[in-house]
């Protein structure tokens, strides 16, 4: 592992952390404009950040019950799946798609990076092909996740002439209104912007008989539940509703009881964090410069594609500027950046034009970025659940990743 500042066996958390260069205080709120959340990161047992990755030879390989060719979906969809090189469904796809194809309401419990998007898009796309009057509403917590789902939808629907519209905050609402005047079957959006467009009478949900709530737990964290309840109250009374979440909080369970009819519950969660992720801590000693410690790490050869988490929008921006000035190819994504700038930074990182992306929790939620070698928690996350979601950006698609947390 890395020699500097690691004391993997120590159990006592370091309570005093080196201040951010320039005197940054711990009072910034980085929740992207949502509900302000009390910072509790210092109270997570530091030992929960230490866990050796399980060698791949030990891990039992999942054997799906089916291959994509076995699913009762249109041949045109199967061709697009095959064109993308997919043959075997992921566990969540294997277990949920047959139920969704039967028209059942469903609760899918799975961590990020498990193929949830394909699990709901493929059967819904099949439903639309068989009945072109069907409409699908996909509600997600962040604009990045909305765009990512649209990209997936376009790939699965290539050549099928089925329109989709993304409506998210931070982007031009007039352009979105124009798109909603075109022919479409799918709307993917964030709760606030969806509500805004409904109240402007540019979007009418009574014609939507299919609803997906993706990352319901994060929408709860961000204070979106009143908006979600409002949206669900407006869709067609006879509908198919799908919930996907990593956890089931009491408020989400109440929502399920209120809006879902005899839902099938599928859980493929085996452990809180992936066995593919090597987890450790970086202890910043008294008097050490936290940013210098970070830069020493980043100069090591195996740090090829690094996602760094800052607790605040201000901190993320400041850190990316400092790293850039010191010769690192770094960008940032956070709630204070425009939609276009966030997308540009994300694209540069995905395509390896930049090696380091500094992000806040909300900005990076649900992102599927290939080949992230390291996730670094420059600031301790507010909750252990946030930690799980952060480090889930690495160790994906069967690869081993590394997660380091500064304490």
Q: How confident is the model at residue 50 (pLDDT cuts 50, 70, 90)?
A: confident
* Interval 324-347: pLDDT, tens: 999 999 999 998 888 889 889 999
- The residue count of the chain comes to 407
Mean pLDDT value across the chain: 84
* Interval 109-131: pLDDT, tens: 987 677 899 999 999 999 999 99
| Mean pLDDT on 312-334 | 94
Look at residue 9 in the predicted model and tell me its pLDDT: 33
| Mean pLDDT on 169-195 | 95
Look at residue 217 in the predicted model and tell me its pLDDT: 85
Question: Would you state the torsion angle of the CA atoms of residues 189, 389, 300, 48, taken in this order, to the nearest 10 degrees?
Answer: 170
Lowest mean pLDDT among 72-86, 91-105, 147-161, 355-369: 355-369
All domains of the chain in start order, with CATH: 41-57+275-406 (3.40.50.300), 68-267 (3.40.50.300)
* Interval 82-96: pLDDT, tens: 999 988 899 999 999
* Interval 378-389: pLDDT, tens: 999 887 778 888
| Mean pLDDT on 169-190 | 95
Whether 392 shows a pLDDT value over 60: the answer reads yes
* Interval 12-22: pLDDT, tens: 333 333 333 33
Upper half-sphere CA count for residue 357 (Cβ side, 13 Å): 32
CB-CB contact of 281 with 46 (8 Å): yes
* Helix axis angle, 250-259 to 225-234, nearest 10°: 10
Give 78-84 contacts, CB < 8 A, sequence gap 24+. Answer: 80/155, 80/156, 80/157, 80/158, 80/159, 80/160, 81/122, 81/156, 83/158, 84/155, 84/156
Look at residue 343 in the predicted model and tell me its pLDDT: 86
Look at residue 270 in the predicted model and tell me its pLDDT: 54
Look at residue 60 in the predicted model and tell me its pLDDT: 52
CB-CB contact of 355 with 364 (8 Å): no
Look at residue 192 in the predicted model and tell me its pLDDT: 95
Of 297, 363, 296, the closest CA to residue 336 belongs to: 363
309-327 CB burial, b ≥16 within 10 A, e <16: bbbbbbbbbbbbebbbeee
Most confident of 99-103, 250-254, 271-275: 99-103
Whether 39 shows a pLDDT value over 80: the answer reads no
Q: What percent of the chain has pLDDT over 90?
A: 58
Look at residue 366 in the predicted model and tell me its pLDDT: 64
Whether 269 shows a pLDDT value over 70: the answer reads no
Q: How confident is the model at residue 106 (pLDDT cuts 50, 70, 90)?
A: very high
Look at residue 365 in the predicted model and tell me its pLDDT: 67
Lowest mean pLDDT among 41-50, 98-107, 384-393: 41-50
How many beta carbons lie within 10 A of that of residue 378, not counting itself?
A: 21
Look at residue 223 in the predicted model and tell me its pLDDT: 85
How many beta carbons lie within 10 A of that of residue 297, not counting itself?
A: 18
């Amino acid at each position: 592992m890395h020699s500097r500042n690691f004391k993997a066996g120590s159990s006592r958390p370091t309570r005093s952390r080196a201040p951010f260069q320039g005197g940054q205080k711990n009072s910034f709120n980085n929740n992207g404009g949502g509900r302000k959340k009390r910072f509790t990161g210092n109270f997570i047992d530091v030992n929960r950040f230490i866990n050796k990755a399980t060698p791949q030879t030990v891990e039992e390989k999942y054997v799906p019950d089916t291959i994509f060719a076995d699913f009762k979906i249109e041949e045109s969809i199967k061709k697009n799946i095959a064109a993308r090189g997919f043959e075997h469904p992921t566990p969540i796809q294997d277990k949920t798609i047959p139920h969704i194809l039967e028209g059942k309401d469903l609760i899918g419990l799975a961590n990020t990076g498990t193929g949830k998007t394909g699990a709901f898009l493929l059967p819904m796309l099949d439903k639309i092909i068989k009945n072109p009057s069907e409409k699908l509403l996909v509600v997600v917590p962040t604009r990045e996740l909305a765009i990512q789902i649209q990209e997936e939808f376009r790939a699965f629907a290539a050549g099928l002439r089925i329109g989709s519209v993304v409506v998210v905050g931070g982007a031009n609402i007039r352009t979105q209104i124009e798109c909603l005047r075109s022919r479409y079957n799918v709307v993917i959006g964030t709760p606030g912007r969806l509500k805004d467009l409904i109240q402007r009478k540019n979007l009418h949900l009574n014609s939507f008989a299919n609803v997906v709530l993706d990352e319901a737990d994060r929408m709860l964290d961000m204070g979106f539940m009143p908006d979600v309840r409002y949206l669900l109250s407006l869709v067609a009374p006879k509908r198919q509703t799908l919930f996907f979440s990593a956890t089931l909080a009491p408020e989400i369970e109440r929502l399920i009881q209120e809006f879902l009819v005899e839902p099938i519950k599928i859980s493929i969660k085996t452990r809180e964090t992936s066995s593919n992720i090597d987890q450790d801590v970086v202890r910043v000693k008294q008097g050490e410069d936290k940013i210098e410690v970070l830069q020493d790490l980043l100069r090591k050869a195996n740090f090829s594609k690094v996602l760094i988490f800052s607790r605040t929008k201000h901190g993320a921006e400041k850190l990316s500027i400092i790293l850039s000035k010191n010769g690192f190819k770094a960008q940032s994504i956070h709630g204070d950046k425009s939609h276009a700038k966030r997308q540009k930074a994300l694209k540069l990182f995905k395509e390896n034009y930049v090696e380091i992306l500094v992000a806040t929790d909300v900005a990076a939620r649900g992102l599927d970025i290939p080949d992230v070698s390291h996730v670094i928690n420059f600031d301790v996350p507010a909750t252990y659940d946030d930690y799980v979601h952060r480090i889930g950006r690495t160790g994906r698609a069967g690869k081993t990743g590394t997660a380091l947390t500064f304490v």
